[in-house]
Amino acid sequence: MKIVIAEPLGVEQDLLLNMAREALGAQAEIMYYDTRITDTAGLIERGKDAEVLVVSNLPLNREVIEGCRKLKLLSVAFTGIDHIDVEACRRQGIMICNCAGYSNCAVADLVFGLLISIYRNIPACDRAVRAGQTKDGLVGFELEGKKFGVVGTGAIGSRVIRIAQAFGCDVYAYSRTPKAIDGVTNVSLDQLLFVCDVVSLHVPLTADTKDLINRDNLKLMKPNAVLINTARGPVVNSGDLAAALSDGTIAAAGIDVFETEPPIPGNHPLLQAPNALVTPHVAFATKEALVKRAAIVFDNIRKWMDGTPVHVM
């Protein structure tokens, strides 16, 4: 069984390969690439003999999928698979497994890292101290008593809800399938945007969620509201959000995801907008989460080899 790990997975090579050998045994021939490439020809070259291909967020288009003629399983070291041509995989009879759950803690942590950085002006406070200045103009806000809106109540959204409640927030939720969660008020998306001081997004990218947050419904939000996006970039219309920040429709935004993977072009609208705190798609990336992710990748392969596949997309 030839298994190709087509890109680095954020885990030290020796540890990663030891994890793979422990999970998969001697029957697996493992090829590991410690560099990341994105060109179609190069990806086909790496995957052309693979029966199992492991990638994280490398874009795999139809041509790449069709060029990997021996491929039977695509083990995606990521939660979302919107970077994969799923239809091409189905036509080729290739099973796709993802790594649901590995980054729940990491992503939820960054939500509050972004929010507290915004609420307490932490980047500006750091600059002030280094410049010999005081707290003048930097008095911030606390979370207790704020109305906190969570859009999408899957595993990550549910964890964010619990943390927001621990901070003393009144939590509101919008989800395609509402859940009965203690202390949470389920409302429509428009109601949530209208009433909440903080809105945190936790939905996958689908045809229905693209531009979910846009010019029209940003106008519903409070002038003091903060929007946090650690989900997928296209869930928010970046141009519309930049305009809303520029004209004071909302107060601030914490953004970890964009239409493309970083590096982001310097003319991206959110890089020009005031009160936008941006991070380079780092929410999922903690040392602990990346080790969890690698373990799930190899467990997915093991179970597929045993005829009991899990996390099938």
Q: What is the pLDDT of residue 80?
A: 82
Residue 248, pLDDT above cutoff 90: yes
Active site residue 232: yes
For residues 88 and 64, membership in a common domain is answered with yes
Q: Which two tokens stand for residue 268?
A: 């991206």
Going by C-alpha positions, the residue among 155, 152, 150, 183 that lies closest to residue 168 is 183
**pLDDT at res. 289:** 96
Give the tens place of pLDDT for each residue, 279-302: 999 999 999 999 999 999 999 999
Which pLDDT value is given to residue 79?
86
pLDDT for the residue 286? 97
- The answer as to whether 313 is a domain residue is no
Query: Is 263 found in the same domain as 120?
Result: yes
Which pLDDT belongs to residue 94? Answer: 97
H or E stretch at 217: helix 215-218
Domain co-membership, 126 together with 254 = yes
Give the percent of the chain with pLDDT over 90.
Answer: 94
Residue 147 lies in a domain: yes
In a domain, 310, yes or no: no
Mean pLDDT of the chain: 96
> Do 85 and 60 touch, CB atoms closer than 8 A?
yes
* Prediction pTM value: 0.89
Query: Which distant-in-sequence residues (6+ apart) come within 8 Å of 244 by Cβ?
Result: 215, 218, 219, 221, 250
| pLDDT at position 6 over 90 | yes
Span 242-251, average pLDDT: 98
Is there a domain that residue 200 lies in? Answer: yes
* 11 domain residue, yes or no: yes
**Same-domain check for residues 50 and 74:** yes
Given the structure tokens 């490439």, which residue do they identify?
37
Distance CA 252, CA 182 (A): 29
> What b/e string do you get for 85-100 counting C-beta neighbours within 10 Å, with b at 16 or more?
beebbeebebbbbbbb
In this structure, the answer to whether residues 231 and 157 fall within a common structural domain is yes
Tell me the longest C-alpha to C-alpha distance in the chain. 65
The reply to whether 281 belongs to the active site is yes
Q: Kindly state whether residues 141 and 219 are assigned to the same domain.
A: yes
pLDDT tens for residues 34-90? 999 999 999 999 999 999 999 998 889 999 999 999 999 999 998 888 889 999 999
Q: Which of 66, 120, 162, 261 is catalytic?
A: 261
For 115, the token pair is: 């929010």
Q: How many domains does the chain have?
A: 2
Report if residue 311 sits inside a domain. no
* DSSP per residue, 170-211: EEEEE-SS----TTEEE--HHHHHHH-SEEEE-----TTTTT
Per-residue pLDDT, averaged over 260-287, amounts to: 96
Is 202 marked active-site? no
Cis check for the bond before 234: say yes or no (omega within 30 of 0).
no
Same domain, 149 and 228: yes
Q: How confident is the model at residue 26 (pLDDT cuts 50, 70, 90)?
A: confident
Q: What are the pLDDT digits (tens) for 183-196?
A: 999 999 999 999 99
Q: Exactly one of 159, 232, 268, 311 is catalytic; which is it?
A: 232
Q: State the CATH number of the domain containing residue 167.
A: 3.40.50.720
**Contact present, 69 and 93 (Cβ < 8 Å):** no
What residues contact 266, with CB distance under 8 A and at least 6 apart? none
Selecting among 281, 293, 302, 311, the annotated active-site residue is 281
147 & 232 share domain: yes
**What DSSP designation does 57 have?**
S
Q: pLDDT grade, residue 257 (50/70/90)?
A: very high
Residues 7 and 60 in one domain: yes
Same-domain status, 59 and 69: yes
CA 179, distance to chain mean position in Å, is 22
Mean pLDDT confidence for 104-125: 98
Q: Is residue 313 pLDDT above 90, yes or no?
A: no
pLDDT at 156: 96
- Verify that 173 and 245 share a domain, yes or no: yes
Give the H or E element holding residue 20.
helix 13-24
CB contact set of 223 (below 8 Å; sequence gap of 6+): 248, 249, 250, 251
In a domain, 129, yes or no: yes
Domain with 299, as residue range(s), is 2-102+286-305
Angstrom distance (rounded) from CA 187 to CA 149: 10
Looking at the structure, tell me whether residues 129 and 232 fall in a common domain: yes
Within-domain flag for 37:
yes
pLDDT at 252: 98
DSSP string, 107-162: HHHHHHHHHHHHHTTHHHHHHHHHTT--STT-----STT-EEEEE--SHHHHHHHH
